[in-house]
Amino acid sequence: MFIVGKELIKMLKLTILLYVVCSLAYTFLIWGIGKIAFPFQADGSIIFNKNSKPVGSLLIGEKFTSPYIFNGRPSYAGNGYDGTESGGSNYAPTNGKYISHEKKLINKFLKENPTVKKGGVPADIITGSGSGLGPYISIAAALDQSPRISSLTGIPESILYRLVKSNVSYRQFGIFGTPGVNTVKLNLKLSILLKKSNYKLYKLIFKGLV
Amino acid sequence: MTYTGVLQILITLAVMVIAAIPLSKYLAHVFKCEPTFLDGIIYPAENLTLKFLKVNGNEEVDWVKYLKTGLIVNFFMLTIVFFILRFQNFLPLNQMHYPGIPWALDFNTAISFITNTNWQNYGGEEVLSNFSQMALAFLQFTSAATGLVFAVAFIRGLIRREAKYVGNFYVDFIKAVYRLFLPLAVIFAVIMLWQGAPQTFVMQKKVTNMTGVKQMLSVGPVASMVSIENLGTNGGGFYNANAAQPYENPNPFTNALTIFMMGTIPIALFLMYGIMIGDKKHAWTLFAVAMTFLIVCLAVVYSQEAHGNPFLAKLGANIRVSKNNPGGNMEGKQEHIGIAQTSLFAVATTAFTTGNVDASHDSFMPLSGMVLIAEMMLNLIFGGKGVGLLNMLTMVIIGVFIAGLMVGRTPEFLGKKIEAKEVKLATLAMFAHAFIILIPFAIAIAIPAGLAGILNPGPHGLSEILYAYTSTTANNGSAFAGLNGDTLFYNISLGLTIFFGRYIPIICQVAIAGSLIKKKSIPESAGTFPAHGVLFYTVITGTILLVGALTFFPALALGPIAEHFAMIKGHLFY
């Protein structure tokens, strides 16, 4: 009935062996495969500008608050889009404080985008994502911002409309997910348009970084 | 709800069931020690391991020793990881110089990972070095293997007659790791890597965004952890937001793949059980019971989430679905993953006791939250590695006992008499689960240290605490994350519910196996209650509903149900 010392040594050996295999060897194996086969993804899908300076990740949203560009969803990750503190608001749907906070966000969006009518504010643009780092907004949320961006930058609305439409990520394999727009990609494209049409404004907003 | 939404849910579920069928055959071969196609590569590795351990692979032991070996091995593994986390500041791969984890949080974390719970009172990227994250991945392999081999021992208890021995723990354990979890983990880690999950030993990257904002990005060996955290139904993610963090779950396809990883093995275990006992019809009936619960839960969550928050609609938000606007309750959800995939993910993670989340469960609608809690209270909708099957079989024993009482006949199950001892142990396992949830919950809502952790006011706050104790007892690990659990009270009390919630039912269940294995087989007669078909399905579903409702309804009524009716009346809580 009792477990003798010899038996305990077997158990200890099993523990150490599996630690070496499952923690060290396994992680290094995947790391090696990443280095060889998927170096871009393994490093975090980092995008670089023409001076080879890292400007962000294709997968991680950024704090886009300037009215001249497409804004993302509210973020509760640190002080907003902090890549080291992922997290959502965790507000319950019946929390009174949350609803007052939402009232402010909705009214702010309506004020910034006067073409949008009350009752038409897309549900995603006034709520935070689960990690506070999601780069995606709905197509509606991107299109609703186009008139504002057009009037501020002088880029015709029809061009912005086409820009949004050509950057939609549709359902994967035609099945999975919900169509949306990646704000990181979208604003990168916007920067190119702005560089051509209004260089001074481009310098002011994008500071020559992309 | 949309057609495309329903379609992507059905496709994901169908692929899981289809993949589980060959996997179940493979697993049955593995644990019956029959040849499989991987023998050429893995057999030598297993032999080498057994030689290194000086274990005689042919020697089998009785259930007491099997259990004891498993529990002591678990204890050793827990200890290693406890010390790695505690002293991570002296260990490699800690470029951010994170300090050692304080003992109470460390206790909670180590227990949580060895028991397959993966409750996290910390934000992974904020406190853990890459070396510590890798140590947790080790427990994700071994805790899954532990649950699996105990289930295998239980099944042997059912099939062997007038016997004593249930198997060799070392052999089963090594097989579970080498033949199931390691190969699958490598394959899926590479797929996740390809799709965008990072795999590096750097901890943070500094970038300057296009608008000049400085941003730090947490990276690390994410791909390797994501695959085993889901395959092992562990659920402890690399990041605080877990699969809501785009690095852990870059796109809708990986989201579906993650659900696939969680669900396929638990479903396969139900079917493997059928093959091993030689009664596939019985296993498919249990599958049908579990699948019914899964689909009903899914229907509630999906419809609630797609319907959205009426308070936001009143303020001017558009929560109705249209071509360009996904609508619904988007708080805490990823836009491109969408309501349908998120609902399936949430239902799957609580059914398969994974606990990984791709959205904030705390921000779900009240009735969705209730369904998620209820799934963990039942803890048998396929369930985690092995444990879900054990819980289902516990309920089967109680079900046939009740059916036996009704017709006044000694209950039988798979040709063996179910007697007082088995019924007592099954009842103990069942009640232990309920007590371990409800008593600490009652204490927590009665003392200031418990109430201090609440984020959301009103009945939702009660739900936050109820969710926490249900999730830890069921070894799930997901959370209503608004609750601040990193306090002395919660670290210790949740750590204890995790510990007792895992081991008391498992000990009872393996003991049932130990008792059944000694019994004679009795031939089937006209009076035998068939363990398959519509009648059996009805009896088991009824038993689960009855036991579940009687035990847990009062707690649910005070939390999510009260919140739902308040919401309908337009009442907010401050």
For B:407-426, CB contacts with A below 8 A are none
Residue B247 predicted with pLDDT over 90: yes
Question: Would you place residue A2 in the very low, low, confident or very high pLDDT band (cuts 50, 70, 90)?
Answer: low
Q: Where does the pLDDT of residue A3 fall: very low under 50, low under 70, confident under 90, or very high at 90 and above? A: low
Residues making up chain A, counted from first to last: 210
* Smallest CA–CA distance from A72 into chain B, residue: B335
In angstroms, the separation between the Cα of residue A191 and the nearest Cα of chain B is 9
CB-CB under 8 Å, A207 with B338? no
Interface test with B, best of A4, A22, A145, A205 (most B CBs within 10 A): A22
How many C-beta atoms surround the C-beta of residue A204 within 10 A?
A: 12
Nearest residue in A to B361, CA atom: A90
- Answer whether A123 sits within 8 Å of B224, measured CB to CB: no
- Whether residue B335 and residue A136 make contact (CB cut-off 8 A), yes or no, is yes
Backbone angles phi, psi at B416, to 5 degrees: -125, 145
pLDDT band at A207 (very low <50, low <70, confident <90, very high): confident
Residue B410's pLDDT is 85
Q: What is the predicted pLDDT for the residue at B523?
A: 86
**Cβ atoms of residues B502 and B118 within 8 Å:** no
Q: What is the mean pLDDT of residues B378-388?
A: 91
Partner residue facing A59 (CB), from B201, B246, B460: B246
Percent of chain A scored above 70 by pLDDT? 99
Q: Which residue has the higher pLDDT, B38 or B231?
A: B231
Q: Please tell me the predicted confidence (pLDDT) of residue A139.
A: 97
Inter-chain touch B365–A132, beta carbons under 8 Å: no
pLDDT in tens, A128-141: 999 999 999 999 99
Q: Is B378 exposed, middle or buried (0-12, 13-18, 19+ CB in 10 A)?
A: buried
What's the pLDDT at B38? 87
Q: At what angle do helices A139-153 and A183-197 cross, to 10 degrees?
A: 20
Predicted pLDDT of residue B384: 86
Contacts of A102 in chain B (CB under 8 A): 311-312, 315, 317
Q: Chain A within 8 Å of B374 (Cβ-Cβ)? A: no
* Cα–Cα distance for residue pair B545/B540, rounded to 1 Å: 9
Boundaries of every domain in chain A: 5-39, 45-206
In B, minimum Cα distance to A84 occurs at: B218
B148 to chain A nearest CA, in Å? Answer: 16
Q: What average pLDDT does this structure show over B106-119? A: 95
In angstroms, what separates the C-alpha of B485 from chain A's closest C-alpha? 14
The mean pLDDT value for A178-190 works out to 96
User: What is the pLDDT at residue B114?
Assistant: 95
Amino acid at B472: T
Q: In chain A, what is the straight-line distance between the N-terminal and C-terminal CA atoms, in Å?
A: 71
Q: Is A90 within 8 Å of B217 when comparing Cβ atoms?
A: no
Does the pLDDT value for residue A1 go beyond 60?
no
Average pLDDT value for chain B: 95
Amino acid letter, residue B25: K
Distance CA A138, CA B135 (A): 39
Residues B133-160 have a mean pLDDT of 94
CA–CA distance, B214 with B91 (Å, rounded to integer)? 29
Contact criterion met (CB below 8 Å) for B276 and B151: no
Do the chains contact at A90 and B197, CB–CB below 8 Å? no
The predicted-structure confidence for B262-306, as pLDDT tens digits, reads as follows 999 999 999 999 999 999 999 999 999 999 999 999 999 999 999
Q: What pLDDT score was predicted for residue B409?
A: 85
Q: Provide the pLDDT for residue B370.
A: 97
CB pair distance less than 8 Å for A27 and B137:
yes
Backbone angles phi, psi at B528, to 5 degrees: -70, 135
Q: Range with the lowest mean pLDDT among B158-162, B322-326, B525-529?
A: B525-529
Contacts of B197 in chain A (CB under 8 A): 41
Is the pLDDT at B103 greater than 90? The verdict is: yes
Query: Model confidence over B51-81: pLDDT tens digits?
Result: 999 999 999 999 999 999 999 999 999 999 9
Tell me the shortest Cα–Cα distance from B447 to chain A, in angstroms. 22
Q: Inter-chain contact B208–A139, Cβ cutoff 8 Å?
A: no
Asked if residue A208 has pLDDT above 80, the reply is no
Q: Residue B569 has what DSSP assignment?
A: T
What ipTM, to 2 d.p.?
A: 0.96
Query: Where is pLDDT greater, at B185 or B530?
Result: B185
For the segment B189-204, the average pLDDT, to the nearest whole number, is 97
Question: What's the DSSP call for residue A77?
Answer: S
Q: How many CB pairs under 8 A join A and B?
A: 422
Those residues whose C-beta lies under 8 Å from the C-beta of residue B522, and which sit 6 or more positions away, are: B412, B415, B416, B417
Query: Does the pLDDT at position B375 exceed 70?
Result: yes
Return d(Cα B1, Cα B225) in angstroms, integer.
33
Distance CA A103, CA B289 (A): 44
Question: What digits encode the pLDDT tens for the residues B11-55?
Answer: 999 999 999 999 999 999 999 989 999 888 999 999 999 999 999
Q: According to the model, what pLDDT value does residue B524 have?
A: 82
For the beta carbon of residue A32, count every other beta carbon within 10 angstroms: 12
Q: Do B252 and A90 touch (CB under 8 A)?
A: no
Taking a contact as any Cβ pair under 8 Å apart, which residues of chain B between 467 and 496 contact chain A? Answer: 480-482
Q: Give the tokens for residue A59.
A: 């997968």
Task: Give me the residues of B, 19-78, that contact A with CB < 8 A.
Answer: 49, 52-55, 64, 68-69, 72-73, 76-77
Read off the pLDDT of each residue in B150-165 and give the average, rounded to a whole number.
92
Whether residue B434 is predicted with pLDDT greater than 70 in this model: the reply is yes
pTM of the model: 0.96
Mean pLDDT computed over B466-491: 95
| Interface contact A30-B247, CB threshold 8 A | no
How close A195 comes to chain B (CA, Å)? 13
- B205–A contact, CB cutoff 8 A: yes
Q: What is the pLDDT of residue B407?
A: 87
Mean pLDDT of B474-500: 95
Q: What is the pLDDT of residues A53-84, one digit of tens each?
A: 999 999 999 999 999 999 999 999 999 999 99
